Amino acid sequence: MSGASMDLDLCTIEAGEFTMGSADFYPEEAPVHRRQVERFLIARAPVTNAQFGAFVAATGYVTTAERPLPTEEFPDLADEARLPGSLVFTMTSGPVDLNDWRQWWKWVPGANWRAPFGPGSSIDDKGDHPVVQVSLDDAEAFCAWAGVRLPTETEWEFAARGGIDGAVFAWGDEPQRPDDLRANTWQGSFPWVNAGARGWRGTSPVGTF
């Protein structure tokens, strides 16, 4: 399969103007402002493990997490600390300081897109789940092969809003209800209790929500 023949299920987003950003959640989302967007195409769903696997099989591409950390960029690290790997989300045993992300992200040698949680994990039954443990370089390499590009931040937010301008959430202003989840989000006390969104803890097949 070539990148040009891969079906990414692209849809057209017509040009328009919308209110971008938020002052209610994260400081980097502010200030709220108006933006104009030209017509563009975007995939209806994230790239799946199966699609990314087709790219790797066709090109022999090696992802960032599968390469040792370069000595010239990390001269102070011991050799074993430069082994290929990635950060892996790890639930805590109880409440922690939410200002310290290191409480729930751990460096795991051997973690990569094929083994998202490290050695012993796999994606064998998750071909329709979104690919994870990929870097910006990896995403851009996939796009170049597939004949597309990554959306800009403005394009992404415009598409995600689905024509609902100025709403708090992509589906409107009302928060999710446990019996009517619109997105695969954490259900419980982060980062130590998660009941799962419709039973899914972690990724779910694209299009589930």
The strand ranges marked E within the chain are 10-13, 16-20, 33-37, 40-43, 85-89, 105-109
Average pLDDT value over all residues in the chain: 95
Give the per-residue pLDDT at 79: 87
Which phi-psi region, left, alpha or beta, contains residue 183 (left: φ > 0; alpha: ψ -120 to 50)? Answer: beta
pLDDT tens-digit readout, 3-54: 665 789 999 999 999 999 999 989 999 999 999 999 999 999 999 999 999 9
Cα separation, 133 vs 153, whole angstroms: 20
Q: What is the b/e burial string over 112-138, where b = at least 16 CB atoms within 10 angstroms of the residue's CB?
A: bbbbbbbeeeebeebebbbbbbbeeeb
Q: What are phi and psi of 25, to 5 degrees?
A: -120, -75
pLDDT tens digits along 134-182? 999 999 999 999 999 999 999 999 999 999 999 999 899 999 998 899 9
Three-state DSSP state, 200: strand
Give the model's pLDDT for residue 144. 97
**pLDDT score for 4:** 61
Nearest C-alpha neighbor of 114 from the set 126, 101, 123: 123
Please, which pLDDT band fits residue 2 given cuts at 50, 70 and 90? Answer: low
Q: Has this prediction a pTM greater than 0.85?
A: yes
